[in-house]
Amino acid sequence: MNRIQEIISERNDDYLDLLNYAIQLGDLEWQEEILESLSHWNTSSDWAITENLWREFDRINYKLIQVYQDIRQSTDEPTKKQLLQQWWELKLQRIHVSRQIQSETTEQDSPEQSCP
């Protein structure tokens, strides 16, 4: 199971636990809100966007590791300098993608706030 699937599974499990609790309390309105949230998230294309962002994040991390290993193995200063520049550019890309992920997940989590 990849990281995206883990996040989705954990979120669904949490909401199913909330649904069970709402059932035990007999709170029909809360049950409907939870079911609506689950239905929205599980059919929304927003998660496809987030999944692609996570894949991009993983790709950048993989490249960062490769460049870091190259930096450690390099003995040539000009090459090392070029690799360091590439490493910083990748770090900036990762920050950008992280912010996009955070923005997407914040937008997707907004239905949560309507639950008591």
Q: With beta carbons less than 8 A apart as the criterion, state whether 104 and 53 touch.
A: yes
Across the chain, mean pLDDT equals 83
| pLDDT value for 40 | 72
Q: With beta carbons less than 8 A apart as the criterion, state whether 108 and 46 touch.
A: yes
Q: Cβ neighbours of residue 22 under 8 Å, at least 6 residues apart? A: 30, 31, 34
The Cα 56–Cα 98 span in angstroms is 10
| pLDDT value for 113 | 45
Over residues 67-106, the pLDDT tens digits come to 999 999 999 999 999 999 999 999 999 999 999 888 877 7
| pLDDT value for 109 | 59
Q: pLDDT-based confidence at 114, cuts 50/70/90?
A: very low
Instruction: Locate 91 and state its tokens.
Output: 């770090």
The Cα 27–Cα 44 span in angstroms is 26
